[in-house]
Amino acid sequence: MKIAVIDDEQRYMDILARVCNGYFTIRSEQGSVDCFLNGQDFLNKCSENLYDAAFIDIYMSPINGIELAEELRKISKDIVIVFVTTSSDFMMQAFSVHAFHYIIKPYMPEQIYKVLDEAAFYIKDKAKFIRIVCDRKSVMISVKEIMSIESDAHYLNISVVSGMTYRTRMTMNEFLKLTDNDERFIPVNRGVVLNADYIERIDGALCIMGNGTRFSIKVREKSIIEKRVRDHMFKKLRENQRI
């Protein structure tokens, strides 16, 4: 993992760099940390995919951390942005640039380790995450952990394997577009889409999930639904055999 630390206070920058390098040692991970005393120097060096993550202070000049993140998003949509600052005043603005985390100084090294663990997982599997807004908060959800999506007026209820359900204002088409129309998501009834990975069986007019949850299906489209589930399972089996 390649990390950039941007902070106009040398002391804080050095501390965070040591914590990040300590993380690589503890986790036996390969990684590097570059430090920058201002955002412009960072932007001058940064190009798409140069860094996996950037830890950014907000109270900097000539451009502050939020402005820096806005420019950074023009370069890379995937870089993990973590704000590390002394105030929570900019937390809402941080969501507008899709910040991964927002950490208040002073912090414990374990807080940084936890963020880096999450970031490492995201970086390795970033194509399988989507971002939604739930309860006015930006939330990252692993696509492979989504079990079902149900429409409710102008909202979707997205249920994941942990048992949690996220409610977000979004259409089903918007959701499917976020997943790049991932073929594992199969419409089984009006306003109901299921992840084929978690479908245990289709019994009559019911689709039964691995956790026992049951969904009614369109009987007229039962053969189409069964074929899509079957095709997905065969494709998944072939892919596993190649690994």
Q: Are residues 181 and 232 in the same domain?
A: yes
pLDDT score of 127:
53
Instruction: Tell me, yes or no, whether 92 and 164 share the same domain.
Output: no
Q: What is the pLDDT of residue 240?
A: 47
What pLDDT, on the 0 to 100 scale, is given for residue 238? 61
* Residue (of 80, 66, 86, 92) closest to 20 by Cα position: 80
pLDDT at position 75 is 87
Domain total of the chain: 2
User: Over the stretch 143-170, which tens digit does the pLDDT of each residue have?
Assistant: 888 999 999 999 999 999 889 999 999 9
Task: Looking at the structure, tell me whether residues 96 and 134 fall in a common domain.
Answer: no
- Domain identity same for 21 and 118: yes
Domain end point (choices 124, 150, 170): 124
How would you label 201-210 residue by residue, b for 16+ Cβ within 10 Å and e otherwise?
A: ebeeeebebe
d(CA 185, CA 193) in angstroms, rounded, equals 6
Question: Do 135 and 214 have their domain in common?
Answer: yes
Q: Check if the beta carbon of residue 117 is closer than 8 Å to that of residue 82.
A: no
Contacts of 88 (CB under 8 A, 6+ apart): 102, 104
Which residue segment(s) compose the domain that 184 sits in?
Answer: 128-242
Domain boundary among 96, 124, 152: 124
**Residue ranges, the chain, pLDDT below 70:** 47-49, 124-127, 236-243
Write the burial class of residue 178 (CB in 10 Å: 0-12 exposed, 13-18 middle, 19+ buried): middle
Tell whether 24 and 99 lie within a shared domain: yes
* 50 dihedral zone (left: phi>0; alpha: psi -120 to 50; beta): alpha
This prediction has a pTM of: 0.55
CATH number, domain of 235, equals 2.40.50.1020
The domain boundary residue, chosen from 124, 140, 158: 124
71-105 pLDDT, tens digit each? 998 888 779 999 999 999 998 888 888 898 999 99
Query: Which two structure tokens, joined as six digits, stand for 148?
Result: 């079902």
